[in-house]
Amino acid sequence: MSDKPRWYKRLGTFLREARAELKKVTWPSKAEVVNTTIVVIILTVFFGFYLFFMDAVFSWALTKLKELVG
């Protein structure tokens, strides 16, 4: 037989080590999570409108350029 531990022993070791690492994590407070979520939503909406506007401007410009050239 090989010296390699069985899969279930490796799984148990992995889960113990993962739990130990998760205890070391500094988790954000509820207020930090709420604030960063609000910032992400606002920036997503802003950049969505910005990209929509830029797409409309470039589409209009390309249409006018096609009319002039072709």
pLDDT in tens, 6-48: 888 999 999 999 999 999 999 999 999 999 999 999 999 999 9
Q: Which of 51, 53, 31 is nearest to 43 (CA)?
A: 51
> What is the pTM for the complete model shown?
0.63
Nearest-5° Cα angle at 20, 16 to 26: 150
What token pair was written down for 62? 């390309």
CA distances (Å), origin 44, targets 30, 51, 52, 56: 21, 10, 12, 18
Residue written as tokens 């531990």?
Answer: 5
Q: Between 70 and 45, where is the model more confident?
A: 45
Polymer length of the chain: 70
